[in-house]
Amino acid sequence: MTAQLIDGNALSKTLRAEVATRAATLAARGHQPGLAVVLVGDNPASEVYVRNKIKACADNGLASTCERYPATLTQTALLARIEALNQDPKIHGILVQLPLPAHIDSHKVIEAIAAEKDVDGFHVANAGALMTGRPLFRPCTPYGVMKMFEAYGIELAGAHAVVIGRSNIVGKPMALMLLDAGATVTVCHSKTRDLAAHTRTADIVVAATGKRNLLTAEMVKPGAAVIDVGMNRDEAGKLCGDVDFAGVSSVAGYLTPVPGGVGPMTITMLLVNTLEAAERAAAHA
């Protein structure tokens, strides 16, 4: 079997065109959606992510601001900036790029963002609402993965889904979304004893570990849908995921490439979340 590739670029293009149309409608009514990105320190990967997010806003009719601060910024000063953005009616989404410098408590910072502007979906109010099924915002990466399943008609109800990774950003919300869609979900992580025993029985595997070549062909059930969230570099410095692409593509039914899979979808869902925040704010204006 040769897996059908799930094209995150193509799907993003379609979804971003819808965002642009809805953003233009809002802007015409005087409510252009606005995203504030806050970057502290000079992490090179964060620089790239932020640049891509700002560009995606500009390309699709969303306003954005990017505030850059040195790694020496105090937590008090950062919290004061967030409070000002919470009060700013032109800003509908606030994104603090993680990781933050070690002297800043990222939990405290995330909790300081107004829940109705928490477009990353990391605030405890949104994480809790995801658990009970009615979040204002879903975390962008797993939300993008759900859109991929939908677009490619991959059946979730009754499927066995294995999520590898249990982070608050990807693994845990992914598991909750799959559960909500009717899958039987197994969450594996670094302490799981026999990972392959779980993945071999899975109709769906989502790998989100940051470990290159973690998932190999003999760990995958023929025909399974495999989603590669990982972002790693190979010896040549080339971007790659957690999945042995060449091997798994000969066994799986569906597979996401890296790059061009989950990455663009994450940014697309950030645009969707910001747009929806602006639509809600406009409805109450």
117-146: contacts with ligand NAD (CB under 6 A): 141
Contact between 257 and ligand NAD per CB under 6 A: no
Label the pairing between strands 232-233 and 239-240. Answer: antiparallel
Q: Name residue 47's amino acid.
A: E
By rule CB under 6 A, what string of x and - marks binding of each residue 215-254 to ligand NAD? --------------xxxx----------------------
Size of the site for ligand NAD (CB under 6 A): 25
Residue 239 CB, nearest approach to ligand NAD (Å)? 10
Binding segment toward ligand NAD, per CB under 6 A, in 27-35, 149-157, 158-166, 274-282: 158-166
Contact between 188 and ligand NAD per CB under 6 A: yes
Catalytic residue at 120?
yes
Q: Between residues 52 and 184, which has the closer beta carbon with respect to ligand NAD?
A: 52
Residue 143 CB, nearest approach to ligand NAD (Å)? 11
Residue 153 CB, nearest approach to ligand NAD (Å)? 22
DSSP 171-186: HHHHHHHHHHTT-EEE
Catalytic residue at 228?
no
Neighbours of 9 (CB within 10 A): 14
Find the Cα–Cα–Cα–Cα dihedral 272, 275, 281, 285, rounded to 10°: -150
DSSP 104-141: S-HHHHHHHS-GGG-TT--SHHHHHHHHHT--S---HH
- By CB atoms closer than 10 A (0-12, 13-18, 19+), residue 161 is buried
Catalytic residue at 32?
no
Neighbours of 276 (CB within 10 A): 18
The footprint of ligand NAD (CB under 6 A) covers 141, 164-167, 169-171, 188-190, 192, 195, 208-211, 214, 229-232, 262-263, 266
- Residues recognised as catalytic: 53, 97, 120
